[in-house]
Amino acid sequence: MNRRTLIASSATLALTASPGFAQTAPTLDPENTIYLDLKQGRVVIKLLPDVAPKTVERIKALTRQGFYDGTVFHRVIEGFMAQGGDPTGTGTGGSKLPDLALEPSGRHFVRGVCAMARASDPDSANSQFFIMFAPMPALYRQYAIWGQVVSGMEYVDQIKRGNSDDNGKVNNPDRIVRMRVAADVK
């Protein structure tokens, strides 16, 4: 690299790092993006088909059926996660589709990660999912990670919390207003 190239590269780096410089967000693939609308606002989730292809297909299929619309966040634990996707609102329900085999990945459970909830059987995920409020290393490779919140995490943070003495069970819980695959939104 010559001196002129080095100076130009340094100037570009300084400009893009400067406050007020408009940086564009990476373009998301609409077929692999979920819009999760809460009463507080829209949460945008990037799907990860390279990480958990069967799980992503399940999330998209249920989303396209309108399955998640109106379902509640029945279990919400401060500093941990918000869990929803159960049509009964009790934490015991699921869709009519068969359960999914676990698709473990090398990804870590950090803030904004979306993963499938399950019973004690690793191959029992169906429709319920959770969104992480904070990192939780103990979950590594235990649940299928299917997405990552890329915007609207401030709205996830506002989901009503549950009772810590009752494993996060929420009285009068917040609901998913609507959930859509971005490609289907006109």
Does residue 12 have a pLDDT over 70? no
Q: Within a 10 A sphere around the Cβ of 78, how many other Cβ atoms?
A: 12
Kindly report the backbone phi and psi dihedral angles of residue 8, in degrees, each rounded to the nearest multiple of 5, phi listed first. Answer: -65, -40
Stated pTM of the model: 0.86
Q: Are 156 and 34 in contact (CB under 8 A)?
A: no
Q: What is the 3-state secondary structure (H, E, C) of 32-70?
A: HEEEEEECCEEEEEEECCCCCHHHHHHHHHHHHCCCCCC
Does residue 5 have a pLDDT over 60? no
- Band the pLDDT of 74: cuts 50, 70, 90: very high
User: To the nearest whole number, what is the mean pLDDT of the chain?
Assistant: 89
Does residue 57 have a pLDDT over 70? yes
Q: Specify the pLDDT at position 17.
A: 41
Q: Are strands 41-47 and 75-77 parallel, antiparallel or unpaired?
A: unpaired
Return the minimum-mean-pLDDT range out of 5-19, 68-82, 101-115, 145-159: 5-19
The DSSP bridge partners found for residue 43 are 36
Q: Are 44 and 149 in contact (CB under 8 A)?
A: yes
Sequence spans of domains, the chain: 26-184
Average pLDDT over residues 13-21: 41
Does residue 25 have a pLDDT over 90? no
18, 19, 24, 26 alpha-carbon torsion, rounded to 10°: 80
- Band the pLDDT of 181: cuts 50, 70, 90: very high
3-state DSSP assignment of residue 184: helix
CA-to-CA distance for 163 and 150, rounded, in angstroms? 28
Q: Which fold has domain 26-184?
A: Cyclophilin (2.40.100)
Q: Specify the pLDDT at position 20.
A: 45
Q: Which amino acid is at 99?
A: D
